[in-house]
Amino acid sequence: MKVTEQGADPLLPRCLMVLDEPFYEQNGRLYSPWIWWRFGDVVAQYTEKYTAFVPLARGRRVEYAQPVEAERMDFVQRFFYRNTEEYYRRLPANRGALIHSARKLLADYDVVILRMPSPIGYLLAQVAWQLGKPTILFVAGNVITQTRYANARGLWAWFARRIARHLRANELRVAARSALVAVWGEELLPAFSKMAEQTVVAAAPNMRANDIQYRDDTCTGEVIRIVRIAKVTPSKAIEHIIQAVARLRRSGRNVHLDHAGFADDPSYQARLNALVSELKLEPYVRFHGSIQFGPALFDLYRSADIHVVSSLGEGLPRCIVEGRAFGLPTVATRVGGIPAVVHHEEDGLLIEPGSTQEIVRAVERLVEEGEFRRRIIRAGYRSVETHTADFQARRLATLMARALCGQSVAQWATDPSLMPDMGQNARGPG
């Protein structure tokens, strides 16, 4: 295996990426409700070959799935499941065929990249190690805090939290034997750096450099529009924004909320709908459902004045970069990897999770303090420049190249805005 350079950029060998997001094929075209593959497609330009090993259902798609328009990466099918529960139900009948196909597939690749949390990650890592393949681990979120059952009660919630702890233990096992561990947020750095010296904070945005659209100010019209982009699941704490809208309107502010994201938890969506009705906010709160990444979503960002991220747990949410790319001042909870990219009163406002009142105060401050708001917008644009998919893909590829060559990545471990160099030994072990 060799790691070389193409000009000033790294050129990684053949990489197999293990993704857990469900994919669908219909009439020869791929669809997925998730869009992490967009960042992977940018990373692929730094590899000899880049293939995603995904749960794929042929002959059908779901309503909220979006077309997959990858230009550089390929996709290979494994048995289909939509979530962790379905994976464990289907695993006994599919385990033998999965391991057989994985062995055959992995033989044609030099590096295996595992994106976790994932129930299948540790199993496929074991196959990679048996074949002598190095692994790289991406930890894209906190499985402990982001489970929809994190604060729920009952036997099933208790069991789900046990599964989450089991998945975390498997992540740490993979980390201990991986050439590089990239975590989506400083919150995860202490736990994983204990297991793997080569651990860095990383990000996987969707925005490209040419997607950025500049404006000088927001909050200048009669209506103040808050936007929230997230799947509908309890960990996103959307109810606190709805309650904040109600309080702001009672105080005389003409505030509206636009939400975009598919209903990952229909029962939670029903509770949110009931809350909107109870507070008599139907004309002022709109759920747009899933909106495909691209012009329609960009229009929603452009029409907004303030971006609120209300999550109880996160990795490094891509929507922060997206909002800033359209000039939106950011209000975000102090959880997960968010404090690594939102610096309080410098390029955004940080609030405590689960606090409706703090959302109200942050929105009021941004509306009332025009110069402060414009300073936040300008700082947000400066941040976007080092958090585009283009910048972060090259950064991550260079970190992977250094790690595979046995070079330290410690200098760039905690700041995702720093671009590493290839070092003196660009060629890895032969």
Query: pLDDT value at position 426?
Result: 38
Burial environment of residue 169 by CB neighbours within 10 A (0 to 12, 13 to 18, 19 or more): exposed
Give the DSSP H or E segment for 67.
Answer: strand 66-67
Pick out the chain residues at pLDDT < 70: 1-10, 147-152, 422-430
Residues of the chain with CATH 3.40.50.2000: 4-205+388-412, 210-384
What are the CA-CA distances from residue 331 to residues 52, 325, 352, 353 (Å)?
34, 15, 10, 11
pTM of the model: 0.80
Query: pLDDT value at position 159?
Result: 80
What is the rounded distance in angstroms from the CA atom of residue 185 to the CA atom of residue 146?
13
- Residue count of the chain, please give it: 430
What is the rounded distance in angstroms from the CA atom of residue 50 to the CA atom of residue 312?
34
What is the rounded distance in angstroms from the CA atom of residue 184 to the CA atom of residue 317?
9
Query: pLDDT value at position 147?
Result: 67
Nearest to 342 by CA among 375, 380, 398: 380
Q: Are 373 and 22 in contact (CB under 8 A)?
A: no
List the alpha helices (DSSP H) in 107-154: 121-130, 143-146
What is the rounded distance in angstroms from the CA atom of residue 35 to the CA atom of residue 50?
16
What is the rounded distance in angstroms from the CA atom of residue 6 to the CA atom of residue 360?
50
List the alpha helices (DSSP H) in 177-294: 189-195, 238-250, 266-278
Q: What is the pLDDT of residues 219-259, one digit of tens each?
A: 999 999 999 999 999 999 999 999 999 999 999 999 999 99
**3-state class percentages of the chain: helix first, strand second, coil last, to nearest 5:** 40, 20, 40
Query: pLDDT value at position 277?
Result: 97
Q: Are 210 and 217 in contact (CB under 8 A)?
A: no
What is the rounded distance in angstroms from the CA atom of residue 417 to the CA atom of residue 212?
17
What is the rounded distance in angstroms from the CA atom of residue 191 to the CA atom of residue 182?
12
CATH number assigned to the domain with residue range 4-205+388-412, chosen from the 4 options 3.50.50.100, 3.30.70.330, 3.30.70.250, 3.40.50.2000: 3.40.50.2000
Domain covering 210-384 in this structure, CATH number: 3.40.50.2000
Question: Which two three-digit tokens encode residue 284?
Answer: 């002022």
Phi and psi of 181, rounded to 5°? -120, 125
What is the rounded distance in angstroms from the CA atom of residue 342 to the CA atom of residue 308?
12
For residue 52, list its beta bridge partners: 17, 75
